[in-house]
Structure 1
Amino acid sequence: MSRARRLAREAVEAAELRAHQTRPDVVALRVERVRGQVDRLCWAGIILGLAFTMTNVQSFASASTPPWSLPWLAAWLLDPTVSLVLLAILRAEQVTARYQVRTGPWVRRAKWFTLAATYVMNTWASYAAGSLAGIVLHSVPPLVVFVAAEAVTDLRDKLTEAVTAAFTEAERRALPDKSVNVVARVHEPLARTASKSKGSGARKSFADYLAEARAAWRPGVSVTPLWVREVTHCSRGLSSRLAAVLAGELADAEGGDES
């Protein structure tokens, strides 16, 4: 076999492999695997950090009570009480972030309060003694738990957006019936989808923002990131992606109309 034929065969195999790798279902499966790894690592770090603080919180609660007395034993219940509430909130956010559902303000307040309570009880003795080394030592685990609790929610949200973006891109490439008028295709059930996403209390996904931008577009309007931000109130980084996808849809649709 000549070199040209071998390269041609490799090119065909590479194109077929890439077609399978970029399928939305394959992308979603890979993201799910990454999501599982992220969850396991974050949960391990959070639980280890809370376990580290348990003895210091018990010392704070028991004060100078005799060991193995009833108050001394009851002091061991304080840290699990706070930690279990925090873990319950984080477990609930794990599900809401997966489906991009927005939680109320009390959820965030409860999370911050439990983290602040753990930090204060864990470092109180070091502050009282004026021990800088003790403050640093006992501040690191609660702060790591706090940062991880905030970061893991955003990470899950972005991973969900990655899956949504993969499906949106696949839908854009497979726009059906390009002979339909571009204005009708842009404004019909998409406007209803955008209004539905506005009425619900769910956190907007990439598809929601895209549907809202579609519904707001009119012939003659130039699709730019600035225009997308004005009509959807999305972030600056997201507006560039939305503008690119919407402009591609309109270009494909107009090309179909001309043909």
Structure 2
Amino acid sequence: MPPTLAEAEAVEQASKQVDRLCWTGILLGLAFTMTNVQSFAANGAAVWSLPWLAAWLLDPMVSLVLLAILRAEQVTARYGIRTRGWVRGAKWFTLAATYVMNTWEAYASGSADMVVLHSVPPLVVFVAAEAVTDLRDKLSDAVRAAFTNAAVSCPDTGQEADAERPPESAPERSPEAKRRTSFDEYLSRAREAWTPDVTVTPAWIREVTGCSRGLSSRLAGSLLAKVSGDER
């Protein structure tokens, strides 16, 4: 059975949740490593001394570079652009540096359980960093496919546009204000606002057209079908 618009919206929500959870896990993993990296960099310096304070800067410095690379890879992957070796090398270097600094003291003490404890967070960050770009790209494809299939299975009837009609009982409205906005007019607005870097969702449709929530799902599906046809 073809997906309905409600099911397509559920796919969109799931995509957003997965993306947020993945990035939250990465941020928590990097936050966990911060104290161990600070301890490694401080190297026994007195608390609140200048070297002890400066040691807190090391982990954020590495983590911010890593996050910037991951975010850039998400954007370039959406357009099918491959980054060069320096970008991937920088990502692997920052991940490796985080792992080494986080586990150095555990390896030095010969404590197997501490090695495991301090290896898990940076390794989770490493695995998530490799997966998040491809995962985000595939989820965007799933959202587009869901709305396109829903639009095909639910052809436009324009019934939802009735919800946009101003109340007939409002005599103070001008004739232009009483005129409803048709489905095709909303679709035309959305098509003019769309660019290749935009992921078409009901929320984006409402933002650029001002249509109702109920109409935005069908408009999203119709726009995706129209854009896909234009690209072919």
Scaled by the length of structure 1, the TM-score of the pair is 0.52
Structure 1 SS opposite 2:16:
helix
Residue 95 of structure 2 corresponds to which residue in structure 1?
Answer: 115
Paired residue total? 153
Residue 132 of structure 2 corresponds to which residue in structure 1?
Answer: 152
TM-aligned CA deviation for residue 95 of structure 1:
2.3
CA RMSD for the aligned pairs?
A: 2.8
Cα pair 1:99 1:160 within 8 Å, conserved: no
Q: Output the amino acid matched with 1:68.
A: W
Residue 93 of structure 1 corresponds to which residue in structure 2?
Answer: 73
| Cα deviation code 1:54-101 (max 9, x no counterpart) | 000001001021111111110000000000101111222232333443
Q: Output the amino acid matched with 1:115.
A: L
Is 1:80 aligned to residue 68 of structure 2? no
Select the structure with the greater relative contact order (CA < 8 A; seq sep ≥ 6): 2
In 2 relative to 1, CA 117–19 (structure 1 residues): closer, same or farther, beyond 3 Å? closer
In 2 relative to 1, CA 88–54 (structure 1 residues): closer, same or farther, beyond 3 Å? same
Structure 2 SS opposite 1:64:
coil
In our comparison, the structure showing a higher alpha carbon Rg is 1
The alignment-based identity, stated in percent, is 73
Is 1:140 aligned to residue 120 of structure 2? yes
- 2-structure distance, mates of 1:42, 1:92: 16
**1:187-202 superposed matches below 5 A:** none
Which one has the bigger helix percentage?
Answer: 1
TM-aligned CA deviation for residue 31 of structure 1:
4.1
Cα pair 1:119 1:143 within 8 Å, conserved: yes
- 2-structure distance, mates of 1:105, 1:35: 29
- 1-structure distance, mates of 2:16, 2:3: 25
Structure 2 SS opposite 1:65:
coil
TM-aligned CA deviation for residue 128 of structure 1:
0.7
- 1-structure distance, mates of 2:140, 2:65: 25
TM-aligned CA deviation for residue 116 of structure 1:
0.5
- 1-structure distance, mates of 2:91, 2:29: 15
Cα pair 1:56 1:122 within 8 Å, conserved: yes
TM-aligned CA deviation for residue 130 of structure 1:
0.6
In 2 relative to 1, CA 163–36 (structure 1 residues): closer, same or farther, beyond 3 Å? closer
In 2 relative to 1, CA 167–21 (structure 1 residues): closer, same or farther, beyond 3 Å? closer
Q: Output the amino acid matched with 1:110.
A: A
Structure 1 SS opposite 2:119:
helix
| Cα deviation code 1:122-165 (max 9, x no counterpart) | 00001111110110000000000111111111211222343565
Q: Output the amino acid matched with 1:56.
A: N
Q: Which runs of 5+ in 2 are unaligned?
A: 154-232
Scaled by the length of structure 2, the TM-score of the pair is 0.58
Cα pair 2:11 2:146 within 8 Å, conserved: no
TM-aligned CA deviation for residue 30 of structure 1:
4.5
Q: Which runs of 5+ in 1 are unaligned?
A: 1-14, 174-259
- 1-structure distance, mates of 2:47, 2:144: 56
